[in-house]
Structure 1
């Protein structure tokens, strides 16, 4: 299913599909492709976005599973059908005849007829002391991922952009004690009315940092020294697709209300023929289940595309 050529310095391996990124979307896509008897390799840098989280929630049949355990199960399933997994950082992707050459940081080059990019995204957080260190623990972003775990607690929502007031409204479904920290960003009259109706209190002023006692978040500290007691903090990150390595193909992330994404159609096909995307790299709001489903869908269409290409090459397409 795959052919390996060992050179003196660089090992070049040829596959039908290289999957870049080994999260839920990538492993799901690789599983579909391996079951379709395609030679496939998943290249993963080992930096899953949800690594700080204690569990994956809202995933039917696996609610609460540790992120690492879910990925371990997925890797085992891909291997069961002959798919390969490689640890490595992809630094470049370029056209190579009728396929692609994928360059890794360690000098290896993988060649493929098609690419499935599932590299996810990076969460860019406001420059507030203490925020990053507690990310995924008691500093969260998604009410559907973390709302149940912080239900009935004192929740603070930090303004970071136009969607932050909406985020506060959502968290008010899980707690009756939600405070919205404006960070000196103006609210519209409508937003102020909506927050009031949902019982969300508005706290004016800039946020200087988080208050932590021992290993427990205890509050939000304002620039004037005031500390507002809070058990958990929600913040909307700017979500930026991990897609810089695609520049050599002329494919770049574009602006999105939540940050940046790689644009694609409903099945993951990008503007560059032969390149598919799935998961958070193209849909920043996708939870684990949705990302996995998108990976499977993209893989199915990618497999059909390869069949079509073979028919065309045989003169019957």
Structure 2
């Protein structure tokens, strides 16, 4: 199968679908390619989305795909295995050998959460192992919360989650010792620092019940927070010349872009967590819409230049 469209959007999450709907409403032929592995699929609900509070992530995406179809856009399931510049545009190849030709590309592949290697941690990720208080803090309010220390940012995370519970402990794990000033601030807010490495996440009756330290001590907790390292997903896209670079906040790597989503590769835009690791669903949606508008104007400019040249002949 081979198809040619104005824009191929790689990634069918909040950013990608918002971009695709905007482009379809601008009367662009647009096709979304999605591998079916949304980052937030394990979460019970999406929060902070006005009018959609608590909607399950997959339901939100289903609604987005239906909206896109209503404007003539479509979604292809499957991973991208190769992408390159070809014939003045781009050629995208899927795992089933489907070939897509596009004048422009929008990358909204999101990111991968690289978690500490602690047995039991990954299995609870998105349930009672969390990282974003604005996404899930309300759901664990007033519960005993443990902050798994992995870096100097862990003190910040502990103080942040203290807003949602007065029972917060900082499990030092691999984080450096708090500075005297940090220790003072933690103590003032009643956050206890527990030294020692965490070697296991404990579960009872299907829910997180605590952690076991290397010493054998068990620290009872009903929620655990951790700051993962974020890595932009570039599977199949390296042929475009896109590269992941360190993010300025030190949280991992992203695909650099300007304020409207243009990447360093002409004709390729980026939106959502792939370029902004800290973006929540609402900001990812906004970024997709903004990038789509800029991309559409780029196409308009190209078409207008062509019309001017044709008229002068």
Common topology (TM > 0.5): yes
Q: Partner of 1:247 in structure 2?
A: 238
Assess if the C-alpha contact under 8 Å between 1:276 and 1:302 holds in 2: yes
Q: Partner of 1:125 in structure 2?
A: 115
Q: Residue 169 of structure 2: SS of its match in structure 1?
A: strand
Q: Residue 305 of structure 1: SS of its match in structure 2?
A: helix
Q: State which of 297, 303, 307 in structure 2 corresponds to 1:304.
A: 297
Q: Partner of 1:166 in structure 2?
A: 156
Q: Residue 314 of structure 1: SS of its match in structure 2?
A: helix
Q: Deviations over 1:1-60 (max 9, x none)?
A: xxxxxxxxxx11101000000000000000000000000000000000000000001111
Assess if the C-alpha contact under 8 Å between 1:211 and 1:221 holds in 2: yes
Measured on the aligned residues, the alpha-carbon RMSD in Å equals 1.2
Runs (5+) with no aligned partner, structure 1:
1-10
Q: Deviations over 1:71-118 (max 9, x none)?
A: 011000000000011101012210002100011111111110000110
1:163 Cα offset (Å): 1.6
Q: Residue 137 of structure 1: SS of its match in structure 2?
A: coil
1:50 is the counterpart of 2:12:
no
Q: Partner of 1:238 in structure 2?
A: 229
Q: Partner of 1:7 in structure 2?
A: none
Q: Deviations over 1:184-223 (max 9, x none)?
A: 4322222222212222110000111111112121111100
1:315 Cα offset (Å): 3.6
Q: Partner of 2:257 in structure 1?
A: 264
Distance 2:210 2:160 in 1: 20
Number of residue pairs matched?
A: 307
1:203 is the counterpart of 2:194:
yes
Runs (5+) with no aligned partner, structure 2:
none
1:134 Cα offset (Å): 0.5
Scaled by the length of structure 2, the TM-score of the pair is: 0.96
Distance 1:199 1:252 in 2: 43
Assess if the C-alpha contact under 8 Å between 1:184 and 1:204 holds in 2: no
Q: Deviations over 1:229-256 (max 9, x none)?
A: 1010001111110014222121101012
Tell which deviates more after alignment, 260-269 or 184-193.
184-193
Scaled by the length of structure 1, the TM-score of the pair is: 0.95
Cα distance change, pair 316–165 in 1 and its aligned pair in 2 (3 A): farther
1:182 is the counterpart of 2:172:
yes
Q: Partner of 1:192 in structure 2?
A: 183
Q: Residue 65 of structure 1: SS of its match in structure 2?
A: coil
1:158 Cα offset (Å): 0.3
Q: State which of 33, 56, 64 in structure 2 corresponds to 1:74.
A: 64
Q: State which of 30, 50, 59 in structure 1 corresponds to 2:49.
A: 59
Assess if the C-alpha contact under 8 Å between 1:19 and 1:30 holds in 2: yes
Assess if the C-alpha contact under 8 Å between 1:102 and 1:110 holds in 2: yes
Q: Partner of 1:148 in structure 2?
A: 138
Q: State which of 297, 300, 313 in structure 1 corresponds to 2:306.
A: 313
Structure 1 runs of 4+ off > 6 angstroms? none
Q: Deviations over 1:244-272 (max 9, x none)?
A: 42221211010121111000001100111
